[in-house]
Structure 1
Amino acid sequence: MAEDKIVFTRCKHAYLVMAHKDDETLRTLLRTLDDPRNDIFIHMDAKNTGWDENRALASIDKAGFFFVPRISVTWGGYSQIACELGLLNAAVDKGRYTYYHLLSGQDLPIKSQDRIHSFFDSCGGKEFVRFENHNRDYGSRIGGHVIWNAFGKSKTQIFLRKVDSLLARLLQLYRKPAEGLKLMKGDNWFSITDELARYIVENASLVRSVFWDSMCGDELFLQTFAWNTGKRFDFYRMPGEDNTDGIMRMIDWGEDESPRVLSMDDLDSISDSKMMFARKFDFEIDSDIVRAVEQLVC
C-alpha cells in the first residue's frame, strides 16, 4: 500500500457494516452514524438482488460513505472472513482512523456520537476484542470444513454437516493449518485501532491459508492473530469483569445461541446500558424500538 495514498483522518472513526437486508433497520443505522467524524463502509450480501444503493445514499448527509465490492456470504463460512477483510482493506486503504467498528446491518448505536467518540478517545488506544476461554482447544473449528463453507447454517443440511465433521477429522490428519498458532475465540464484532486493523490486513494471505476451510472461523481469526503477537496489543477489559473482555455491545443471547431480537420491553435496559452499541434489531418485528433508539441517540 503506497503511503501517499493514505489520508490521515485523525480522530475519525470507520464503521464497517456487514448487511444482508436493505430495510429500515439498516437505514436507521446509517442515519445514526451520519456524522462528519465518521466514514461508513458498507457491504451488502450479493444474494440480496434488490439492493438499492441510492436508498442508502439518501440516509447519509455528513459522513463519508463507501460501498465495498459485494460477495455472497454464507453463515459460518470463510466468506464471512473474506467480507470482514474486504471492509478492513477498504478502510485502511482510505485513511488512518482512530477506531474501526465492525457492525451488522441489524445493529444500532445506543449512545450519541458525542458519547461514543468521547468514550473511545478516553480509552488510550485499547482494542475492543472479546476472548472466550483461554484454555479451550478450538482446533476442531479449522481444517476440512468444505461442506460447511458451501451450505452454512441451512437446517436442511444436517446430514451433510455430519459428513463435513467426518471429512474435517480425516483431512486434519494430513493438514495442520494452525501449527504454531494458539487458536483463540470470541465474538466476531469488534472496535479496533488503526495498528491492529493494518496488522490484520497485512496478514490477510496468512489468515486465508489458516481459515479458508474453517467452521465459523470469523469467531477465531482476529482473536488468534491478535493474541499471538504477545503483548503488542492492549485489550480493553470491562471494570469488574474477570473472564471476558468488553466489546461495548449489548447482546442478549437467546436459547438457540443466537442474539435475541430486541423490543420495546428492552428500552429501559438499552437506556441504562453502559454499552455503546446493541444488537439485534428488526424493523419488521418491532419498529417502535428502532424508532425509539434513533430518538435516544440523535
Structure 2
Amino acid sequence: MKKHAYLIIAHNNWKILERLLILLDDNRNDIYLHIDRKSDLINFSNNVHNANLSVFHEIDVRWGDVSQIQVELLLFNAAYCKGSYSYYHLISGSDLPIKDQDEIHAFFDGHYPAEFIGFSLGMTCDNRINKIHIFPRYQRIKNRCANRVLHLLRFFCIFLQNILNYNHYELNDKLIMGPNWVSVTDKAVGLILSKKSIIMKQY
C-alpha cells in the first residue's frame, strides 16, 4: 500500500483543523501536524483513529520570516526519516480537501511520479526580493510606536542598499515565485532536505 504523508502547519481555526484531521483520518495516511508555539493548545482535540498522527509544537512561526521555512523543513524531515511515502502534501491547518481519500489516492497513483508545485513565470526581481530586509519577525507587532521605529529602520536599510547598488541576487539567478503548499514525491523531499543548509542560508 502506497502511503501519503500530510504535513500541516496550523496556528488557529481549531474547528477547521479538527474537521481536516477527520477528513484525512485514513490508514493510507500519516499526519505530521505543527501547531505554532504561540498558539493555545487547549482548544485542540485529537479525533484521529486510523492515521498515525505526530504533533509538533516547537517553532514560533512569524509571517514573512524564515521560521516559516524552518517549520516546513522540520515536517519534511520528520516524515522523510520515518518512512518512504509516495507523496508528501504540505498544507495549512485551514485547508480542507474537496475530494474523498479514495479519489485523492487514485489521482496521485495515476499521476505518479509527477511533482505538484505551483509557480508563476515572469517574476520581476524588485526590492521585496532583491534586498535584505531587517527584523522580519516583527512585521506584525501591535505596539504602534515600535512599529513606526521598525518601519523607519527598514526604509533606511532599503534606501542604503539602493544607494550602494546592493543586490541580494545576481542578474543571472533564475527566480520563480509560487505558493509554499505542494504535493511532492519522496525523491523531491530527499532533494529538498539535501539542500537544507543552502536553503537556510539563502532565506
TM-score range, shorter chain: 0.7 to 0.9
Deviation at 1:134, TM superposition (A): 3.2
Q: Which residue of structure 1 lines up, in the alignment, with residue 138 of structure 2? A: 151
Q: Tell me, in whole angstroms, the C-alpha distance in 2 between the residues paired with 1:21 and 1:134.
A: 34
Deviation at 1:144, TM superposition (A): 2.1
Which AA in structure 1 matches 2:153?
Answer: V
Deviation track 1:186-234 (CA, whole Å, cap 9, x = no partner) reads 11211111111111111111001111xxxxxxxxxxxxxxxxxxxxxxx
Q: Tell me, in whole angstroms, the C-alpha distance in 1 between the residues paired with 2:74 and 2:159.
A: 30
- TM-score scaled by structure 1? 0.60
Distance 1:168 1:41, change over 3 A: farther
2:122 partner SS? coil
Deviation track 1:24-83 (CA, whole Å, cap 9, x = no partner) reads 1111111100000000001000001x3149722xx1101011123511111111111111
Correspondent of 1:42 among 33, 36, 53: 33
Q: Tell me, in whole angstroms, the C-alpha distance in 1 between the residues paired with 2:107 and 2:148.
A: 44
Deviation track 1:99-133 (CA, whole Å, cap 9, x = no partner) reads 11111111111100000001111113111111113
Q: Does 1:201 align with 2:188?
A: no
Distance 1:29 1:99, change over 3 A: same
- Identity over aligned residues, as a percent? 37
User: Does the CA-based 8 Å contact 2:123-2:177 persist in structure 1?
Assistant: no
Q: Tell me, in whole angstroms, the C-alpha distance in 2 between the residues paired with 1:93 and 1:47.
A: 26
Deviation at 1:166, TM superposition (A): 3.6
Q: Which residue of structure 2 lines up, in the alignment, with residue 191 of structure 1? A: 183
* Bigger RCO (CA 8 Å, 6+ sep): 2
Count of equivalent residues: 198
Deviation track 1:252-277 (CA, whole Å, cap 9, x = no partner) reads xxxxxxxxxxxxxxxxxxxxxxxxxx
Deviation at 1:181, TM superposition (A): 3.5
Q: Tell me, in whole angstroms, the C-alpha distance in 2 between the residues paired with 1:116 and 1:205.
A: 33
Q: Does 1:92 align with 2:80?
A: yes
Distance 1:210 1:175, change over 3 A: farther
Which AA in structure 1 matches 2:182?
Answer: F
Distance 1:106 1:94, change over 3 A: same
Q: Which residue of structure 2 lines up, in the alignment, with residue 75 of structure 1? A: 63
Q: Which residue of structure 2 lines up, in the alignment, with residue 7 of structure 1? A: none
1:111 partner SS? coil
Correspondent of 1:11 among 2, 7, 10: 2
User: Does the CA-based 8 Å contact 1:16-1:100 persist in structure 2?
Assistant: yes
1:28 partner SS? helix
Deviation at 1:184, TM superposition (A): 1.2
Q: Tell me, in whole angstroms, the C-alpha distance in 2 between the residues paired with 1:183 and 1:174.
A: 19
1:146 partner SS? coil
Distance 1:74 1:142, change over 3 A: farther
Deviation at 1:163, TM superposition (A): 3.3
Deviation at 1:141, TM superposition (A): 1.9
Deviation at 1:22, TM superposition (A): 6.1
Which AA in structure 2 matches 1:151?
Answer: Y
Deviation at 1:168, TM superposition (A): 3.9
